Amino acid sequence: MLIHYNQTSDILYYEVLDIPLPELQALKTLKVTYHHATKDEVSVHSIRLPKNSTVGDVLNDIKTKVELSHPNAELRLLEVFYHKIYKVFAPNEKIENINDQYWTLRAEEVPDEEKNLGPFDRLIHVYHFTKDTQNQTQVQNFGEPFFMVIREDETLSSIKERIQRKLKVPDEDFSKWKFAYISLGRPDYFEDSDTVALKFQRNMYGAWEQYLGLEHPDTAPRKAHTINQNRHSFERPVKIYN
């Protein structure tokens, strides 16, 4: 009989490895979701590399497994948790201490507009949210967060047009959405004529608790893992590769 955590069992489980154990112990396996730049498609990849590899090595490996929008596309790796972007990994960061058990690792192409920011442009976080049913002054995030470049004098009306094109939301649904500057979970709603950049401090990626909130119903089916929701909270296919 076997005893484990004060419980007895007569069943012994084992795993057949595809490589020798010493080699496996020298490797790090990361589960990375890849969001296609132009298609409504998410793929999940298990990346296995030596522990002393870098994030840049991970991204180079992903490039060999996915379809890019163009051959010279630049990728980045994000750390996503509870529908917020908490970190953009530096390409030279070692992968040994990266944890993919609680955080979702997301790879995506860096849009061209983010590579050529003007001196007064802002790169802000954009998150979906609904009001907390227990406390209407607090919000609940859902769906896939993303970055967006906003111009110094750009009004909400202009930004809304770009968001609708990006997320491909039908006019009837989009007309019901509300937009708010959210700091520490408290929404301050915009009017169409408001200059959005005035609310945001200059920061390359901004704090995750300061973002442009998109208020609308969460229509995606409840699922256990974020990767099963599409990038913008509408259903789309997920492909899993080992």
137-176 pLDDT tens trace: 678 999 999 999 999 999 999 999 999 999 999 999 999 9
Q: Is the pLDDT of residue 110 over 80?
A: yes
User: SS3 of 172, please?
Assistant: helix
pTM of this structure = 0.81
Could you read off the pLDDT of 50-78 as tens digits, one per residue? 999 999 999 999 999 999 988 899 999 99
- DSSP strand pairing (178-183 vs 186-189): antiparallel
What is the fold of 1-110? Ubiquitin-like (UB roll) (3.10.20)
Could you give the CA distance from residue 88 to residue 45 in angstroms, rounded to a whole number? 19
Q: Is the pLDDT of residue 195 over 80?
A: yes
Distance from chain centroid for Cα 211: 14
**pLDDT band (50, 70, 90) for residue 201:** low
**Hey, which CATH number is domain 111-235, 3.30.200.20, 3.10.20.90, 3.40.718.10, 3.40.50.450?**
3.10.20.90
